[in-house]
């Protein structure tokens, strides 16, 4: 067990957020998880930058129990964004080491989200320039009004990709991270295999439920096989595609225990994909309070490992209610910790009224995501600098009220 000891005194209010959380072989100091959010503070080369280190360490400094990075790509073929970090090679180790060390130094468990973007791989302006891997060559709307067609991934490429996930996880463990979070949601490659809409294969990697879930199971199996037993392997799982003929919550509830049997140590249930988010019925999803709580409660019922409810839980009263009702064992916050990394410290001190709330509709961080996300609610100097990192000279001790 190597989770740093808690320095947070349980507050009289919101106490259920501040009890330790067992994640596989590690223990987080509380139940607040910094949820992956692509802010693009990396560089074109794909190595970790100082800006990223400060950004993530600041979220740990603010009191989150676990800090998961935005999705880092397991190889170039799976890279979506121009400044996305790659975990594909030994030469990434120095940057990754510093990132893990700084997050952990501020008392949080440190994890990397690993992705293969599949049909969403970039660059998007020249989509036809290279192979975009998907289970099947099904056309889709990449951006509103622009339909493109990915290529069908070969069996050899499937095997290479599974290996790439395993290698990336190995690198993360060597760099000192506590775990990885496998991205099997939002329409990226793994979730593309799950859906009968995007997986039309007739070989062993498609067809019925067993064939469509095989890729997800083999990725998790390989990652678990190549890392030590105490290394935490979680899964961001598409909980419901929210479209007729797509992957359903019923499917996710069936798959989660199978992933757990392979060694998955926590789950985030995530509804909808980039594509189905555009449907009128789902368009305002991200603005709804607690929009994935019901899906995560369903996963909680069928798994024996923590499920992290996430999405629109920035109000600590909502977060606490979810935990108290047993709908999840932990709370994931993305935009809330981006806007105010001190959310956990302030809530622990029973001062939620001092939290800077996310004001944007649609969120500015999404609009500024490609070049380095910013938030209007930050102090002026942080907006000017382009990120809200920490000042090591001026850092308050972790978990003490500011
Ligand atoms: C700018 C932005 C980037 C995101 N990037 C990721 C990502 O890299 N991986 C991921 O699983 N989810 C990503 N998400 C989704 C968040 O993890 C989260 O599910 C969503 O923002 C809802 O949670 P929230 O209400 O706490 O922000 C992103 C969201 C935003 C706004």
Q: How far apart are CA 393 and CA 330, in angstroms?
A: 32
Query: Any idea where the domains of the chain sit in the sequence?
Result: 15-356
Q: How far apart are CA 294 and CA 313, in angstroms?
A: 13
Hey, how many other C-beta atoms are within 10 angstroms of the C-beta on 221?
18
Report the pLDDT value the prediction gives residue 392, as an integer from 0 to 100: 55
Report the pLDDT value the prediction gives residue 363, as an integer from 0 to 100: 85
Instruction: Note the Cα 1 to chain centre separation in Å.
Output: 23
Q: Quick one: fold of 15-356?
A: TIM Barrel (3.20.20)
Q: Is 334 in the pocket of ligand 1 (CB under 6 A)?
A: yes
Q: How far is the CA of 158 from the centre of ligand 1 (A)?
A: 26
Report the pLDDT value the prediction gives residue 231, as an integer from 0 to 100: 98
Q: How far is the CA of 207 from the centre of ligand 1 (A)?
A: 30
Neighbouring residues of 96: CB distance < 8 A, sequence distance ≥ 6 = 48, 87, 112, 171, 172, 175, 176, 177
CB 94 within 8 A of CB 175: no
- Region of 14 on the Ramachandran plot (φ > 0 left; ψ -120 to 50 alpha; else beta): left
Does the model's pTM come out above 0.85? Answer: yes
Token duo for residue 282: 């789902």
Report the pLDDT value the prediction gives residue 402, as an integer from 0 to 100: 27
Report the pLDDT value the prediction gives residue 358, as an integer from 0 to 100: 84
- Residue-wise pLDDT tens digits, 138-196: 999 999 999 999 999 999 999 999 999 999 999 999 999 999 999 999 999 999 999 99
Instruction: Note the Cα 38 to chain centre separation in Å.
Output: 9
239, with CB counted inside 10 A (0-12, 13-18, 19+), is buried
- Residue-wise pLDDT tens digits, 15-69: 999 999 999 999 999 999 999 999 999 999 999 999 999 999 999 999 999 999 9
Query: Starting from the edge strand earliest in sequence, which strands make up the sheet with 308-310, in order?
Result: 266-271, 232-240, 179-184, 109-115, 66-73, 32-34, 330-333, 308-310
Of ligand 1's listed atoms, the one at least distance from the Cα of 358 is 27
CB 190 within 8 A of CB 162: no
- Region of 170 on the Ramachandran plot (φ > 0 left; ψ -120 to 50 alpha; else beta): alpha
DSSP notation for 319-332: HHHHHHTTS-SEEE
Q: Give the chain's mean pLDDT.
A: 93
Of ligand 1's listed atoms, the one at least distance from the Cα of 333 is 26
Q: How far is the CA of 34 from the centre of ligand 1 (A)?
A: 10
Beta strands in 263-328 (DSSP E): 266-271, 308-310
- Residue-wise pLDDT tens digits, 245-295: 999 999 999 999 999 999 999 999 999 999 999 999 998 898 899 999 999
Buried b (16+ CB within 10 A) or exposed e, 115-145: bbbbbbbbeeeebeeeebbbbbebebebeee
147, with CB counted inside 10 A (0-12, 13-18, 19+), is exposed
Q: Is 365 in the pocket of ligand 1 (CB under 6 A)?
A: yes
Q: How far apart are CA 141 and CA 153, in angstroms?
A: 19
- Which residue in this structure is represented by tokens 């989770």? 3
Q: How far apart are CA 252 and CA 257, in angstroms?
A: 9
Q: How far is the CA of 155 from the centre of ligand 1 (A)?
A: 31
Specify the length of the chain in residues. Answer: 402
pLDDT band per the 50, 70, 90 thresholds, residue 92 = very high
Question: Among candidates 178, 181, 182, 207, which has minimal Cα distance to 195?
Answer: 207
């Amino acid at each position: 067990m190597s989770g740093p000891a808690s320095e947070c005194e349980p507050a009289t209010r919101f106490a259920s957020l501040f009890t330790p959380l067992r994640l596989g072989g590690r223990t987080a100091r509380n139940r607040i998880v910094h949820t992956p959010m692509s802010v693009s503070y990396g560089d074109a080369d794909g190595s970790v930058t100082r800006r990223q280190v400060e950004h993530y360490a600041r979220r740990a400094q603010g009191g989150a129990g676990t800090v998961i990075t935005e999705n880092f790509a397991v190889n170039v073929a799976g890279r979506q964004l121009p400044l996305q970090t790659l975990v594909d090679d030994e030469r990434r180790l120095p940057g990754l080491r510093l990132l893990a060390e700084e997050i952990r130094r501020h008392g949080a468990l440190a994890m990397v989200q690993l992705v293969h973007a599949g049909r969403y791989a970039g660059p998007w302006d020249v989509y036809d320039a290279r192979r975009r891997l998907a289970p099947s060559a099904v056309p889709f709307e990449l951006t509103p009004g622009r339909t493109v067609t990915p290529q069908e991934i070969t069996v050899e490429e499937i095997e290479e990709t599974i290996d790439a996930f395993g290698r990336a996880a190995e690198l993360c463990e060597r760099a000192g991270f506590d775990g990885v979070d496998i991205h099997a949601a939002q329409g990226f490659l793994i979730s593309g295999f799950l859906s009968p809409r995007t997986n039309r294969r007739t070989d062993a990697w498609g067809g019925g439920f067993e064939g469509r879930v095989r890729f997800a199971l083999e990725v998790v199996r390989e990652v678990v096989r190549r890392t030590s037993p105490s290394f935490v392997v979680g899964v961001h799982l598409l909980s419901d595609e929210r479209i007729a003929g797509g992957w359903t919550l019923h499917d996710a509830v069936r798959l989660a225990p199978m992933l757990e049997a392979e060694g998955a140590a926590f789950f985030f249930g995530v509804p909808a994909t980039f594509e189905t988010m555009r449907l009128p019925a789902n368009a305002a999803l991200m603005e709804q309070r607690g929009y994935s709580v019901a899906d995560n409660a369903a996963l909680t019922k069928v798994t024996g490992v923590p499920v992290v409810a996430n999405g629109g839980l920035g109000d600590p009263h909502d977060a606490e209610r979810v935990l108290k009702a047993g709908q999840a064992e932990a709370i994931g916050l993305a935009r809330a910790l981006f806007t105010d990394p001190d959310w956990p410290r302030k809530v622990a001190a029973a001062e939620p009224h001092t939290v800077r709330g996310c004001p944007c509709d649609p969120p500015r961080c999404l609009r500024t995501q490609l070049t380095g996300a910013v938030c209007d609610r930050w102090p002026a100097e942080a907006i000017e600098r382009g990120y809200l990192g920490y000042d090591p000279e001026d850092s308050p001790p972790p978990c003490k009220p500011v």
